[in-house]
Homo-oligomer: A and B are copies of this chain.
């Protein structure tokens, strides 16, 4: 079955026993969160790379619904693992430097105690008697395993989807044991549409005539129901674009698969195949338990609730979503980010552009961005351990994040002035931070707290790799992830002229910060006036010199006088004004700044 349409990220994994799996058994009784207890729990796990003598290089990788402990291959003969793209020697999670632990969750069917395990009280499989499992129960078992391995603190915990739920709960419940937490394609609770699909999938299993109330181990398993659940899963893991790419061209040409299911369309034969293969390796009762655990997981719906939930965490967070993921959509990641920022936690986020849907977090094709981000987090944790600050970097790219450089910006005279206006103990939000030039300078002089917002994915990746806290967001869509008065100072350094909704951005600045610092190119600078008046051309109002009127990032040029109007219109108080002529060495302009200054830095209050 080498047909590319039939391959999938969650590749049809073999039902063969895992060669390198180890187990540990913990005597009970273990009480579970929602009632019921287990007499003893066996945990299946795999280890990649060596634990350092200080035991400070361990990274726990948590799996999603249908995963297991086999994260990656152990050697050339081994079967590939489910996160082969990310984990391995020389990979972004480098097993030559780190000790990676893959662990099968409680309730699973790949070595860890689950509904298919023998209930010692009866000598028969637990079946429906196996208690309801929560993400919290899974995390409790992870902690037992860490104790068993003698690991008091993980460098990081990493997980996508249900794996992300485990990762965030571990960071919350055991803050001293987690220094970094990378959350991919996950959410603090599934939204109602995802929940609805899970309900239908469970109904398909429990209504299967062979389900027999979960007591089916002596007879035929509820294969039709489980296969239908799996088909639904496969649909929701992909995006519409990914589905079309696989099946649109030959939709009426199904593959010749042996199945009881409809195989009239190519997508039908694909779903039948995936459903049938899944049944060979997965247990329906495990599916029910894990699917329900995902749905029951609920850290809150509002920023306030989420902030309460995350309050105990102390680690650095990385939150990664994927633009086409509709099962764990980007805005849910942003809810998480909002709560973490509100709490003053260290967090970066990126909404990775991808057409691959929820599956994206597993794919090699999307690795350059999400892998780079995860590596950025791990590198930063290493720098933390070595007491190093963020990378100052060398280039100060175009402040508008569009990649252009010129002599003016490479000097970034505005940075010096902006720095002077910011007390060292102030918390700072840099809106339109680009790759973090100003942030790095603030951080290196010991600024208490610096957070950036940037809309360009590449700039976010660079800033994260430098070791900065950057939120990937578009200012024109508002700043609802930030709460009122959350920062001492909000900086808009050459950003305002690149947004369309100036009013919204200024109002959000005033809402979120106690003071604002806005720097911009004065459109009425003498040279600009001359260009329009004498040359009859629209001047370059600060686009960086490499753009033309039809593609400049500056879409809202304004003069100093215009900006003052705007402040009056929106009720913003000007606290101080700093007008410079950068063409004359950056000297401060005192007289007729609207003519003589090209760079304006205005400090605003409410």
Interface stretch of the complex, out of A176-184, A303-311, A387-395, A531-539: A531-539
For A199, A224, A238, A247, the residue with the greatest tally of chain B CB atoms inside 10 Å of its CB is A199
Q: How far is the CB of A119 from chain B (nearest CB, A)?
A: 24
A243-B192, A502-B551 given; A203·B262 CB < 8 A: yes
Q: A265-B295, A550-B558 are in contact. Are A532 and B523 (CB under 8 A)?
A: yes
Residues of B within 8 A of A555 (CB): 500, 555-556
Partner of A562, one of B203, B301, B537, B556: B537
Q: Is the pair B550, A537 in contact by a Cβ cutoff of 8 Å?
A: no
From 531 to 549 in chain A, residues with beta carbon under 8 angstroms from any chain B beta carbon are 532-533, 535-538, 548-549
Cα A301 to Cα B244 in complex, Å, equals 11
What is the count of identical protomers in the complex?
2
Pick the residue among B192, B200, B560 that contacts A248 (CB under 8 A). Answer: B192
Q: How far is the CB of A522 from chain B (nearest CB, A)?
A: 9
Chain A interface residue count, CB cutoff 8 Å, equals: 74
Taking a contact as CB atoms under 8 Å apart, the answer to whether B533 and A558 are in contact is no
Q: Which residues of B contact A224 (CB under 8 A)?
A: 203, 207
A566: chain B residues at CB < 8 Å are 548-550
Of A56-64, A227-235, A396-404, which binds chain B? Answer: A227-235
Which residues of A (126-140) have their CB < 8 Å from a CB of B? none
Contact partner of A262 (CB less than 8 A), chosen from B199, B533, B569, is B199
**Complex contact B240–A595 (CB within 8 A):** no
**CB-based contact A561/B532 at 8 Å:** no
Chain B residues near A86: list those with CB within 8 A.
Answer: none
Chain A 228-270 against B: per-residue CB contact (8 Å), 1 yes, 0 no? 1001100100101001101110011000000011101101100
- A529 at interface, CB cutoff 8 A: yes
Please state if B550 and A538 are interface contacts (CB–CB under 8 Å): no
Contacts of A561 in B (CB 8 A): 535-537
Whose C-beta in chain B lies nearest to the C-beta of A506? B550
Q: Is the CB of A556 within 8 A of B565?
A: no
CA distance A329 to B301 in the complex (A): 28
Option from B231, B251, B262, B559 in Cβ contact (under 8 Å) with A206: B262
In the complex, residue of chain B having the shortest beta-carbon distance to the beta carbon of A558:
B549
Give chain B nearest CB distance to A224 CB in angstroms. 4
B240 touches A536 (CB 8 A): no
Bound-state Cα–Cα, A224 to B222, Å: 14
The reply to whether A207 and B261 form a contact with Cβ atoms under 8 Å apart is yes
Interface residue? A409 (CB, 8 A): no
Judge whether A248 and B301 touch: CB under 8 Å: yes
A203–B550 contact, CB under 8 A? no
Q: Take A199-B271, A265-B199 as given contacts and tell me if A536 and B524 are in contact as well, using a CB distance cutoff of 8 Å.
A: yes
Instruction: Tell me the nearest residue of chain B to A263, going by C-beta.
Output: B199
Most buried by B among A195, A200, A265: A200
- How far does the Cβ of A605 sit from chain B's closest Cβ, in whole Å? 19
Residues of B within 8 A of A228 (CB): 200, 203-204, 207, 228
Residues of B within 8 A of A244 (CB): 191-193
Chain B residues with Cβ below 8 Å from A238 are 193
Query: Which of B192, B536, B537, B538 interacts with A246 by CB under 8 Å?
Result: B192
User: A518 to nearest B CB, angstroms?
Assistant: 12
Residue A449 lies at the interface, judged by CB distance under 8 Å to chain B = no
Taking a contact as CB atoms under 8 Å apart, the answer to whether A558 and B532 are in contact is no
A354 to chain B, nearest CB (A): 16
Bound CA span A200–B206, Å: 16
The answer to whether the Cβ of A370 comes within 8 Å of any Cβ in the partner chain is no
1/0 per residue A6-47: CB within 8 Å of B? 000000000000000000000000000000000000000000
Task: Report if A326 contacts B (CB, 8 A).
Answer: yes
User: Given A528-B532, A548-B569, list of 14 further CB < 8 A pairs?
Assistant: A196-B235, A197-B235, A199-B271, A200-B235, A207-B224, A265-B295, A523-B532, A524-B538, A529-B536, A536-B594, A537-B559, A538-B557, A548-B562, A549-B566
**Which A residues contact B (CB, under 8 angstroms)?**
191-193, 195-197, 199-200, 202-204, 206-209, 224, 228, 231-232, 235, 238, 240, 243-244, 246-248, 251-252, 260-262, 264-265, 267-268, 271-272, 292, 295, 298, 301, 326, 329, 500, 502-503, 523-524, 528-529, 532-533, 535-538, 548-551, 555-562, 565-566, 569, 594-595
